[in-house]
Amino acid sequence: MRSIRTVAAAALVTALALLLAACGSSSSSGSSSSAGASSPLSTGGYKSPLTVALTGGKRGGTLQVLQEIDFEHLDPGIAYFSVDYAVVFATQRPLYSQKPDSTEPTPDMAEGPPEISNGAKTVTVHLKEGIHFSPPVNREVTSEDVAYAIERGANPDVANPYIQSYFKSIEGMPAATGGPIKGIETPNKHEIVFHLTEPKGQIVADALVLPLTAAVPKSYAEKFDKNKPSNYAAFQVATGPYMLKNDAQGKVLGIGYVPGKSATLVRNPNWNPKTDYRPAYLNEIDVKIGGTSAVLGRQVLEGTNVVQNESTVAQSVVRLAAEKFKSQMEISPGAGSHYIALDNKVGPFKNIDLRKAVWAALDRTAMDKARGGELVTNVATHFIYPTINGFEQAGGLKGPQGPRFDFNAYPEGNMKVAEKYMKLAGYPSGKYTGNETVTMVGASGDPFEEDSQILEQTLKNLGFTVKYTAVEASTMFAKYCNVPKEEITVCPSVAWIADFADPQTVLNITFNGTTITPTGNVNWSQTNIPKINAAMAAAENVVGKEARGKAWAKIDEELVESATAIPFDWDKQANIEGSDIEGVGDIWNVGEWDYSYTSLK
């Protein structure tokens, strides 16, 4: 799971189909207006990962990619950012991965679906034969390479960011430091078995779509992993259709990747298309790093052979594309959610009715308009967002209904309902008359500051005294919102995107009281409700997509009823391409371009 900059994702084709059906769409046949206007998957007539053609692209050519920011990590064992994933998933093959228009796991290196057995305490995966590493390793991939890839994730010098979140139940994982893990067994070259200490087979199986499971050859990588930190990324080998350009010794750094400047992906000569579902149309992908997002966006719109790869495309570029280059913009729904974290533990918002009053008074449509309007947002009414399993069970677009949720019924805000809850909270005038000041720390920059100011005005209208400070987003998290002892009453700029489409990845770490930590805490509202904690513990062990969706949707409803935080936006991501590009984005990776499907016209 990650905060706003990082991504992964997956969900269920069935869930998507249900959503599309519920919205009266015409299925994912390629229509550019498949989703109705009220659909959370609606993209306003713009193409989306759900509607573009995945077959029939022209083979050959070089794609230019412009991106403002550098990659964070290109090591498959460390990568945890949507921009990184665009390269990692073109060069690496995890056990499972997702097609661009789906959040359903598709066997990649695996031969078929994972087998969950022994009361959900064993997960078995069989590997395809004939998958080879790129030069200079060249040999066939075995299950031991997958085991090593996961084991090295626990190495402090690799420090995979999500390994303990999803793979902790593997026997021996909590104490692992990079060496062999007792619970990972490789009976033969093409079989890997995970033995779990708890019946969490479903979540482990779902997490096999993460790039941590991309094979790493131990005999080759071990010497790089002994460095502090590991520099395997600079010498990495590929299993996917592309590889970062390297020399005969396998060196990538300075050749296929120049930090802050460029990355060059060329075809992997050892890739066997018969073992892969990807078409891999392009011959080469040249990534240029640097510049200003808004300027790059305009260059791309007016250019050829080029796409822009950003975590967020500038609002001015989205507007320009909408006005003049409509066919060159892709909108990807299911790009995460934003919510306001109200401190449930300290300060005035310990009082549930005060939280509900703020929720009722807040104009969430205004918040979303400040983020770019309907084209790139939906007003959020609960926490599980579109494309995630459980979204519909949790109320879909409208959210949970009924008198208990009247504070959630007015996206444009309703002061009468807010006053009702202010009175219930013990403030008969309908205004807060307590002496506690609301300390609010938001991220600086557009649109975070606008959102913060709308919230600040709402709080003032309810009688609160607000002390608002805007700081760099990284500072906001590292120094304030992620540190409970700072006692920040309101963090208005927090966001979450799932690692894959299981609802546990949306709700557990962010609202489970047992996950609160002194630093690096992402349970920003410090929600710690025993009943909800217990429900989450039970839901973690539920097996089966439908059952999991239902279980976590119920938890979602309880979180809304407790007004633990105020969700206000479900994001849609805009992506920009040149006029001669058949760009294909990944729905599961916030719409980032999929280089294995994109082609030149």
Partner 1 sequence: MSSGAAELLPSGGGALEFLDFGGDVVARSPLQLFWRRFRQDRVALVSLAFIVFLVVVAIAAPLVVSLLGLTGPYVQNLNLTDSFGSPLGPSLAHPFGVDQLGEDVMSRVIYGARVSLEVGVIGTGIATVIGVVVGMCAGFYRGWVDTVLSRFMDIVLSIPILLLGIGLGAACGVHGCVKGLVQPGLASIIFIICIATWPYIGRIVRGLVLSMREREFVEASRALGASNLRIMFREILPNLAAPIIVYSSLLIPTNILLEAALSFLGVGIRPPTASWGNMIAQAAPIFNTAWWFMVFPGLALLLTVLAFNLLGDGLQDALNPRNAR
Question: Does 483 engage in binding with partner 1 (CB under 8 A)?
Answer: no
Q: Which of 168, 245, 288, 319 binds partner 1 (CB under 8 A)?
A: 319
Q: How far apart are CA 478 and CA 553, in angstroms?
A: 30
Pick 286 or 486: Cβ nearer partner 1: 486
Question: Does 315 engage in binding with partner 1 (CB under 8 A)?
Answer: yes
Residues near 462 by Cβ (< 8 Å), separated by ≥ 6?
357, 358, 361, 418, 422, 431, 432
Closest CA to 342 of 91, 565, 43: 565
Pick 295 or 409: Cβ nearer partner 1: 295
Tell whether omega for the bond before 100 is within 30 degrees of 0, i.e. cis: no
Q: Min. distance of Cβ 571 from partner 1 in angstroms?
A: 14
Residue spans of beta strands (DSSP E) within 272-428: 284-289, 306-308, 329-332, 337-342, 377-379
Q: How far apart are CA 252 and CA 275, in angstroms?
A: 25
Please say whether the beta carbons of 86 and 592 come within 8 A.
yes
Question: Does 316 engage in binding with partner 1 (CB under 8 A)?
Answer: yes
Q: Which of 27, 38, 304, 469 binds partner 1 (CB under 8 A)?
A: 469
Pick 92 or 573: Cβ nearer partner 1: 573
Phi (first) and psi of residue 436, to 5 degrees = -90, 130
Site string for partner 1, 371-400 (x = CB under 8 A): xxxxx-------------------------
Please say whether the beta carbons of 2 and 8 come within 8 A.
yes
Give alpha helix (H) positions in 167-302: 201-206, 218-225, 293-301
Q: Which of 70, 286, 486, 546 binds partner 1 (CB under 8 A)?
A: 486
Number of residues lying near partner 1 (CB under 8 A): 38
Question: Does 148 engage in binding with partner 1 (CB under 8 A)?
Answer: no
CA 513 to chain centre: 22
Residues near 29 by Cβ (< 8 Å), separated by ≥ 6?
none
Q: Which of 146, 318, 329, 388 binds partner 1 (CB under 8 A)?
A: 318
Q: Which of 470, 497, 542, 560 binds partner 1 (CB under 8 A)?
A: 470
Question: Does 446 engage in binding with partner 1 (CB under 8 A)?
Answer: yes
Q: Min. distance of Cβ 319 from partner 1 in angstroms?
A: 5
Pick 92 or 315: Cβ nearer partner 1: 315
Question: Does 437 engage in binding with partner 1 (CB under 8 A)?
Answer: no
Q: What angle do CA 596, 599, 601 make, to 5 degrees?
A: 170
Q: Which of 444, 515, 528, 579 binds partner 1 (CB under 8 A)?
A: 444
Half-sphere exposure in the Cβ direction for 394 (13 Å, CA) = 30
Pick 203 or 318: Cβ nearer partner 1: 318
Both tokens of 203, joined, read 């979540």
Question: Does 69 engage in binding with partner 1 (CB under 8 A)?
Answer: no
Judged by CB under 8 A, the chain residues 341 through 370 that form the site for partner 1 are 363, 365-366, 369-370
Pick 205 or 314: Cβ nearer partner 1: 314
Closest CA to 518 of 480, 475, 484: 484
Question: Does 413 engage in binding with partner 1 (CB under 8 A)?
Answer: no
Both tokens of 470, joined, read 């805007």
- Say whether 155 sits in a helix, a strand or coil: coil
Interface ranges with partner 1 (CB under 8 A): 294, 314-316, 318-319, 322, 363, 365-366, 369-375, 439, 441, 444-447, 449-450, 453-454, 456-457, 467-471, 475, 480, 486, 488
